């Protein structure tokens, strides 16, 4: 079944097209990205205003196909912070039937974080696993390296298999290291940004790119 998103406001769509054309003209040689990967990298550049993502962005060979197919099926999306949840547009989520899950404010998550001296985002990823939304879902982490490291641990030690992991946490403590660790996984597929750059807006941009392709039926 092919889903169709409601059209963007004409003026906004025209500005976006002009922005993408500007990026194409000024980004320089693509750092090894094919057209599919470039559509994602270009949106990261558009979102951040930073051409460095032409080179910093890394994609597992199956990342785009896995993300598109999972979202086209209406898989759950698990995020590390509410900023990502707030940034995802209903015009994309609704037609796909995608639900977004974020457990940082759950009372049990808070209790366990205190009791076990971990972060809320670590416990939130464990809760997502226990509630059955991590396996087969798309995980998007834009802020918390500890959340990304916990997902990697769940993959390696518990055999959890998300459909795709988007790992773009921002910061100076463990952010770069957590993304390097993510890129050592053969499975599941992943999308990452090397170094300290990242953030919730980039996670949203990556998800929107994949959702747009799922809505176009490109699976």
Known catalytic membership, residue 105: no
Q: Which of 3, 46, 101, 208 is catalytic?
A: 46
CA proximity to 155, closest of 187, 178, 203, 119 = 187
Spatial neighbors of 144 by CB under 8 A, at least 6 apart, are 80, 81, 119, 121, 169
Sheet holding 138-141, edge to edge: 57-59, 190-193, 164-167, 138-141, 77-79, 100-101
Peptide bond just before 188 cis, omega within 30 deg: yes
One-letter-per-residue 3-state SS of 149-217: HHHHHHHHHHCCCCCEEEECCCCCCCHHHHHHHHCCCCCCCEEEECCCCCCHHHHHHHHHHHHHHHHCC
Cβ–Cβ < 8 Å for 145, 177: yes
Cβ neighbours for 36, distance < 8 A, ≥ 6 positions apart? 64
Active-site positions read 46
């Amino acid at each position: 079944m092919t889903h169709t998103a409601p059209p963007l406001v004409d003026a906004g769509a025209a500005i976006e097209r002009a922005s993408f054309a500007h990026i194409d003209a000024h980004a320089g040689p693509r750092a090894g990205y094919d057209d599919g990967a470039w559509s994602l990298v270009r949106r990261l550049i558009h979102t951040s205003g930073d051409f460095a993502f032409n080179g910093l962005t890394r994609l597992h060979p199956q990342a785009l196909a896995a993300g598109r197919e999972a979202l086209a099926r209406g898989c759950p999306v698990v995020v590390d912070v509410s900023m990502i949840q707030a940034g995802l547009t209903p015009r994309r989520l609704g037609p796909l039937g995608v639900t977004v899950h974020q457990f940082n404010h759950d009372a049990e998550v808070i209790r366990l974080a205190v009791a076990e001296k971990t972060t809320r985002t670590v416990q939130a990823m464990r809760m997502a696993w226990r509630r059955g939304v991590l396996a087969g879902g798309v995980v998007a982490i834009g802020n918390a390296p500890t959340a990304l490291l916990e997902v990697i641990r769940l993959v390696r030690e518990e055999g959890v298999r998300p459909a795709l992991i988007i790992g773009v946490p921002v910061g100076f403590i463990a952010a770069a290291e957590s993304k390097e660790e993510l890129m050592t996984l053969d499975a599941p597929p992943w999308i990452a940004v090397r170094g300290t750059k990242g953030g919730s807006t980039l996670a949203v941009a990556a998800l929107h790119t994949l959702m747009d392709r799922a809505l176009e039926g490109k699976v």
